Structure 1
Amino acid sequence: MPEHHSHHLVYGTLHDYLTGEELVDTDDERIRQRLSRMMVEMLGYRREELEPRLSIETLFTRHFVRSVIDLTVRLDDKQFMIIRYGPGSLVSRERAALAAARVLNGSYQIPLAVVTNGTDAVLLETATGKTVGEGMTSIPTRSAAAAMLPTLLFLPLQDEEKRLREKRILNAFDLERCCIGL
């Protein structure tokens, strides 16, 4: 089991729905597990099409941040959507999700990003940052995603300066400030 340093209430451990890996059991992790289960059991994705806990590591102004992408969704061997979970307000998490979708993949920008708090969601188009759907039902089913896949824009990577800016945004938004200095 991974070492866990946090202000979150820990209930013990649980096993990841997708991988079977032992994880720290927190309220947030339980919601992440429900999201994975929903993607498979309700929306029709195969477990192997969902990549949990991919991450992007950044270091700016002496602040190392490991930004975790809760789920990365793949169809036809292409990552086409990321899902980021966070409690509370969704609008405050949209910009970081867009930044993550723009830099996570080393070959192209992932075209869709979902921000969710487990009860509500926003579906964003990575290229423009525009909201293309709201609510949990905006997360496309596997069949809907397969139908839209040919129309999605898999843009090439941004130039290095723009990628660096996106990483700075991700670093700033994902820096845990609640426990600094304690």
Structure 2
Amino acid sequence: MHETSLGGTIRDYLTGEEIDETTFEEFRQALARFMVEEKGYPKERLKAKLPLTYCVEDEEFERPIDLVLYDENDKPIFLVIFCAGEVGTFERETVCAARLIEGGPVPFAVVSDSMDASLLDTRTGELIGKSMQAIPDYEALMEMVNEAEIQPLTDEQRDKQTRVFHTYCGFIYGTCCSESCSLPPMPERVKGSE
């Protein structure tokens, strides 16, 4: 299922601005509200729909990341991806995004459908918590981040993660669901993807 416009606007919880109402936007808004009001995340450090831009065989692609938390030095430290489907099937894509995001890798990430969630250690790719309550509160997350050992990706690692990410975004979950879909055609399959 693709995200599509519903033709209206809603007020963004994080910025207060009017934004397009889409099939997924109410869920994104609920996740942002949950993180701020129940988990204590500073609203001003959360950014929504941040584009993750990457290249595959000299062609540029972009995938929006639903929520990214930045520290006081404007470094990304945590990201959240909303999924419309079985949360577990989006874990690997989420880990790749966390490793590839500009300024990253970020040490921890969450994928959620707003009712269930997987908390992931992005260095190892391991699932470290399951359920919405597994999402750490802000203070606990900061302790986790301070103890995490994150290294920048090598060029080889970045290339591999990019190809895996592109495969998940474009071919596994991004294939068109109907002839009326407004998304552009998918790119050719990337050779060498794992």
Q: Which amino acid aligns with 2:11?
A: H
Paired residues of 1:58 and 1:168 also in contact (CA < 8 A):
no
Deviation per residue, 1:115-146 (Å, 9 max, x gap): 11111000000111001100001111112123
Q: Which amino acid aligns with 1:167?
A: T
Mapping for residues 81-100 of structure 1, pairs under 5 Å: 81-100=78-97
- How far apart in 1 are the matches of 2:9 and 2:116? 26
Give the CA deviation at 1:60: 2.9
Residue 160 in structure 1 maps to residue 155 in structure 2: yes
Cα RMSD between the aligned structures?
A: 2.2
Q: Which amino acid aligns with 1:85?
A: F
Paired residues of 1:67 and 1:170 also in contact (CA < 8 A):
no
Q: Which amino acid aligns with 1:86?
A: C
Moved over 6 A (4+): none
Percent identity reads: 32
Deviation per residue, 1:58-110 (Å, 9 max, x gap): 3436875311111111234342211000111112211111111111133x421
Report what 1:57 is aligned to.
53
Report what 2:165 is aligned to.
170
Residue correspondences, number = 175
Report what 1:109 is aligned to.
105
Q: Secondary structure at the match of 1:122?
A: strand
Q: Which amino acid aligns with 1:159?
A: T
Report what 1:79 is aligned to.
76
TM-score by length of 2: 0.81
Deviation per residue, 1:136-174 (Å, 9 max, x gap): 011111121233332122x22111121011111222211
